[in-house]
Amino acid sequence: MTETLDSLIESVDSDEGYLAEAWLLRLRTFEFSHRDAARFLLWLPKLQPHLGCCEINLSHGTTDLDRPAALIEFHTGGWSGAEELISAMLGHFWIAHLHAKWSRGGHFTFEVPETLPERRTAHAPASTPERQEAPPPAPSRRTERRE
């Protein structure tokens, strides 16, 4: 049975400001879709009470391309518990895809566009061009030798 994002979020567990190793393992092995990654990042500020020393802010703005987006700023301050979470998150293709900026001191910014592209897998092109058959081979100019 494949775990759902909701079950991952609902099961978050921590102890004295550090996320439980079992939960971090579930996060590391979770298979995120593009939409799951966006939902997880939008939920991330609600994780802050489980973490001892970091700041997670959600605001709305625009991307570098002037497109409307939710901006998630995660400030780890170099704290090991938050750095461990960031490491687990950035190990996922779609979360890394939404990662927009890093700056010294543990400052990470993620951009979640207001409108996500239509569903597709990470490995499939947006549209599949119609397959064209190769043209038939050119007639051979070679002549047979007669004896």
**Quick one: three-class SS letters along the chain?**
CCCCHHHHHHCCCEECCEECHHHHHHHHHCCCCHHHHHHHHHHHHHHHHHCCCCEEEEEEEECCCCCEEEEEEEECCCCHHHHHHHHHHHCCHHHHHHEEEEECCCEEEEEEECCCCCCCCCCCCCCCCCCCCCCCCCCCCCCCCCC
Return the amino acid letter for 32: F
What's the pLDDT at 48? Answer: 86
Please state the rounded mean pLDDT for residues 60-79: 91
**Angle value at C-alpha 120, between 117 and 46, nearest 5 degrees:** 65
What's the pLDDT at 115? Answer: 82
Q: What is the pTM of this model?
A: 0.75
In tens, the pLDDT along 100-121 reads 999 988 899 999 998 877 655 5
In tens, the pLDDT along 10-52 reads 999 998 889 999 999 999 999 999 999 999 999 999 998 888 7
Domain positions in the chain: 11-113
What's the pLDDT at 118? Answer: 66
Return the amino acid letter for 118: E
